[in-house]
């Protein structure tokens, strides 16, 4: 980072099917929570950035930057950014750019999405806007369908069994039991995941992150200090269309963003004490861990089998419950992941990793076309 960026704290709504709340209600609630948690004055906020993908399509509300700015008495500059499921991570990166360039000293970052007021088919087709409309769209694939292709390719290439894949979702569901903000707070054994209804072969219902409403907000500052600093904020991208990729079992965007983040922070991989990982589909978690070098290609499942991904393991994953069990309100996810990392470092996490000092948030947009990595450390 060009100068120290501190995470002052944040707030979030519960994630879930929140029929009694509009997109505006969710944003207001997360912003109020963030301001109350950090005890800054609303007028201390110099700029607002919101990450959102589908406000116009699913909540009839676009122009969200100014909507958020209107919640503050002094109407600071504000903008909305979009990078599909990585919209939240991109919002944080944009806030860092404003802070590092001295355009602002304190920035309110929000991620929000309201998906459940419209029919599921509309959400499914709107989410496909994250893929390449000319090359991938005409195939008729959906996101569960695309990740099912990656799962089929991966399972064939590395001989991964259906029951092994179920270990990934089981871990997230176990963690979410203690998280009051999570959509699904029920422990689900791997055997039940393997038997859940088929969505897109080989992916079953319990391999998929759900359709979710929710919002999260964070306050970042170069002026006000806290015990948690952002050590790196990086974006990686790669070809939008799957047809232009050399591989569908690895995402270059993650490799690039992670390597650049380690170099920006001056960390080594094994400095990281916990990871919030973008488990939009169970197979994705294995791919991400391999792309970041936590396991050789085809072997990430061993981390789950050996207990390395558990709360007391070498590499605890998704101690919040991840996207799978917390839910995945698209634009909110990347902001909520960094809030969870902040909670981990300030001992407010629902599942606390002992002596966690350095943590990672990995947020993915599309089928790995965009990746943001945020590294946070306690100081």
Give the binding range for ligand COA (CB under 6 A) out of 54-62, 119-127, 230-238, 304-312. Answer: 119-127
Determine how β-strand 198-200 pairs with β-strand 78-81. unpaired
Helices and strands: H and E segment counts in the chain: 13, 11
Give the binding range for ligand COA (CB under 6 A) out of 86-94, 206-214, 232-240, 242-250. Answer: 206-214
Q: What is the DSSP letter of 197?
A: P
Which of these, 227, 213, 210, 230, lies nearest to 109 by C-alpha position? 230
Distance from C-alpha of 53 to C-alpha of 88, rounded to nearest angstrom: 9
∠ CA 266-271-275 to the nearest 5 degrees? 110
Binding mask 265-304 for ligand COA (x = CB under 6 A): ---------------x------------------------
Examine residue 211 and tell whether it contacts ligand COA (CB under 6 A): yes
The yes-or-no answer on residue 328 being catalytic is: yes
CB of 40 to ligand COA, least distance (A): 33
- Is 356:345 a contact under the CB 8 Å cutoff? yes
Which of these, 103, 106, 102, 114, lies nearest to 67 by C-alpha position? 114
CB of 180 to ligand COA, least distance (A): 18
Binding ligand COA by CB under 6 A: which of 15, 143, 181, 294?
Answer: 143
Distance from C-alpha of 165 to C-alpha of 174, rounded to nearest angstrom: 15
Binding ligand COA by CB under 6 A: which of 210, 214, 322, 331?
Answer: 210
Examine residue 199 and tell whether it contacts ligand COA (CB under 6 A): yes
Binding mask 325-344 for ligand COA (x = CB under 6 A): ---x----------------
Binding ligand COA by CB under 6 A: which of 208, 300, 317, 359?
Answer: 208
From 68, 85, 96, 341, active-site residue = 85
Place of tokens 């000293």: 105
From 173, 278, 328, 362, active-site residue = 328
Give the bridge partners for 358, in sequence order.
377
Which of these, 378, 78, 95, 340, lies nearest to 222 by C-alpha position? 95
Binding mask 230-269 for ligand COA (x = CB under 6 A): ----------------------------------------
Examine residue 21 and tell whether it contacts ligand COA (CB under 6 A): no
CB of 23 to ligand COA, least distance (A): 17
Residue-wise over 111-146: b if at least 16 C-beta within 10 A, else e? bbbbbbbbeeeebeebbbebbbeeebeeeebbbbbb
Binding ligand COA by CB under 6 A: which of 97, 122, 205, 311?
Answer: 205
* Binding site residues, ligand COA, CB under 6 A: 85, 120, 124, 127, 143-144, 184, 199, 205-206, 208-211, 280, 328
- The residues assigned a catalytic role are 85, 328
């Amino acid at each position: 980072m060009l100068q120290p960026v501190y995470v002052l704290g944040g707030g979030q709504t519960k994630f879930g099917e929140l029929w009694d709340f509009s997109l505006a209600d969710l944003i207001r609630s997360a912003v109020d929570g963030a301001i109350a948690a950090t005890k800054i004055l609303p007028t201390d906020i110099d700029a607002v950035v919101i990450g959102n993908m589908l406000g116009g399509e699913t909540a009839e509300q676009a122009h969200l930057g100014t909507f958020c700015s209107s919640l503050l008495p002094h109407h600071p500059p504000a903008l909305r950014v979009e990078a599909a499921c990585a919209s939240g991570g991109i919002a944080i990166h944009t806030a860092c750019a404003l802070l590092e360039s001295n355009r602002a000293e304190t920035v309110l970052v929000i991620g929000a999405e309201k998906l459940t007021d419209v029919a599921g088919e509309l959400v499914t087709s709107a989410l496909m806007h994250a893929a390449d409309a000319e090359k991938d769209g005409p195939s008729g694939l959906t996101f569960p369908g695309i990740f099912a292709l990656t799962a089929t390719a991966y399972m064939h290439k590395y001989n991964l069994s259906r029951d092994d894949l179920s270990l990934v979702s089981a871990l997230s569901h176990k963690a979410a039991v203690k998280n009051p903000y999570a959509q699904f707070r029920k422990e689900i054994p791997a055997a039940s995941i393997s038997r859940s209804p088929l969505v897109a072969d080989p992916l079953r219902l319990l391999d998929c992150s759900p359709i979710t409403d929710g919002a999260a907000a964070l306050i970042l500052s170069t002026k006000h200090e806290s015990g948690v600093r952002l050590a790196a904020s990086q974006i990686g991208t790669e070809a939008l269309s799957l047809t232009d990729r050399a591989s569908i079992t690895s995402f270059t965007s993650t490799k690039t963003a992670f390597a650049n983040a380690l170099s920006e922070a001056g960390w080594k991989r094994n400095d990281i004490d916990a990871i919030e990982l973008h488990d939009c589909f169970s197979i994705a978690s294995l791919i991400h861990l391999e792309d970041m070098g936590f396991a050789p290609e085809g072997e990430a499942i061993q981390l789950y089998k050996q207990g390395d991904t558990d709360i007391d393991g070498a590499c605890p994953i998704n101690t919040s419950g991840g996207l799978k069990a917390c839910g995945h309100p698209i634009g909110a996810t990347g902001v909520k992941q960094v809030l969870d990392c902040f909670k981990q470092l300030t001992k407010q996490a629902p599942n606390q990793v002992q002596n966690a000092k350095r943590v990672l948030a990995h947020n993915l947009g599309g089928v790995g076309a965009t990746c943001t990595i945020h590294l946070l450390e306690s100081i």
